Amino acid sequence: MARAGLLKHVIEIQQPIETQDGSGSVVNSWLVYLTVHAQLLPQAGSEAVLEGHTQAFSVVKFNIRFKKGITPKMRIVYDGRTFDILNLVDVRGVGRDLEITCKEAV
């Protein structure tokens, strides 16, 4: 369980939305879904080769109080950094705590 004293980082959970610009073209952007306190747990760093370029990334976990509606299509913004959600785990399966594993390109 994520104890209240450990939830000292404020994060934004954002959801993707499609809007239209003035010319009627579809524009993808992000809307704040939720702002919550979280525990930040750095996990690992790694590199991958994508289209011939080496891309470094780090994996972190955010632990928050359970909130319904969060999906892997969303992202997290913390301290000016953007994290893609990889996995969501309802800790102990009782709807009390949520562990969110994310990847950040660096």
- Read off the pLDDT of residues 44-98 as tens digits, 9 standing for 90 and up: 766 556 567 766 778 999 999 999 999 999 999 999 999 999 999 999 888 899 9
Are residues 88 and 75 in contact, defined by beta-carbon separation less than 8 angstroms?
no
User: Over 60: is that where the pLDDT of 3 sits?
Assistant: yes
Domain holding 94, by residue range, is: 4-105
Listed residue (11, 15, 5, 60) closest to 38, CA to CA: 11
The CATH number linked to 44 is 2.40.10.270
- pLDDT tens-digit readout, 8-23: 999 999 999 998 888 8
Give the pLDDT of residue 24. Answer: 83
- Enter the pTM of the model: 0.81
- Structurally, the chain folds into a number of domains equal to 1
